[in-house]
Amino acid sequence: MSEIDPVIAAKRYAHPEALVSTEWLAERLADDSIRILECDEDVLLYEVAHIPGAQKLDWHTDLNDSVVRDYVNREQFQELLRSRGIDESKTVVLYGDKNNWWAAYALWVFKLFGFESVRLLDGGRAKWEAEGRPMTTERPSFPRTSYDAPPRSDEKIRAFAPDALAQSKAAKPLVDVRSPQEFTGERTHMPDYPQEGTLRGGHIPGARSVPWARAANSDATFKSAADLRAIYEREQGLGASDKIITYCRIGERSAHTWFVLTYLLGYPNVRNYDGSWTEWGNTVRAPIEVGS
């Protein structure tokens, strides 16, 4: 499915095919070439109600290995898509709560496996509900597919601690998307969230503070390309020729910024450091800066 949503096209993104509007999806709920997946931070929201035809994607159990701190392997991802009736002939539309925070994380994991036909619903669950669009508690089922997943490729869009350290030493762009209080070291966790095990606060030396949610409007849609360029280019001095690493706490908020830079602004060399501050803040002798 290659057509561009005209509502999204008006926002002048580099890759408008990466998003669809609520209008676009509402007109295609009965289209069997589309599979809708809901991925929320609050994993109970799906059971309360969801978009008709949507299937649940639990980021804890469906995307992450249950033992090793890593993502699912090829066989697990393959079974995930087969069981949801997904193969390369389907267009996957992801949406969720919190400005599509975890939906963007899910899209990033899909891209680790080279799955190209995947889009985000601009505005996610919040916009769909605010517009009074249909919701249901019915759980759909679709025929299994024989989808054959390729090996996972981490090199192009994923960064690890040595990569982040090299980026810092070379004074190349690191974008810290956490809250300002986490960046300065005042907090070791998000405001209104519990402490989750990081021993040290602060940020990677040389990192720039650009909180992830600045990329979203009040209705949870993404800001226009012009507004995003004002933040990342005119304010932060970033550009398409830069090699950029984003990070946060465990890679979820930074996946949202990775999506913005990669697909909405068209930067070709952006990687998400999913180890992020949970790894960095607990690593012996990892260099840390505090303050703004």
For residue 146, the number of C-alpha atoms closer than 13 Å in the C-beta half-sphere is 0
* 238 Rama sector, left if φ>0, alpha if ψ -120 to 50, beta otherwise: beta
Handedness of CA 19, 22, 28, 33 (dihedral sign): positive
Return the DSSP state at 214.
Answer: G
97 and 51 Cβ atoms separated by less than 8 Å? no
Spot the catalytic one: 36, 80, 92, 248. 248
| Active site (annotated) includes residue 39 | no
Distances (CA, A) of 225 to 6, 105, 201, 216: 15, 21, 33, 11
Helix (H, G, I), strand (E, B) or coil at 165: helix
* 98 Rama sector, left if φ>0, alpha if ψ -120 to 50, beta otherwise: left
144 phi and psi, to 5 degrees? -60, 150
| Residue positions annotated with a catalytic role | 248
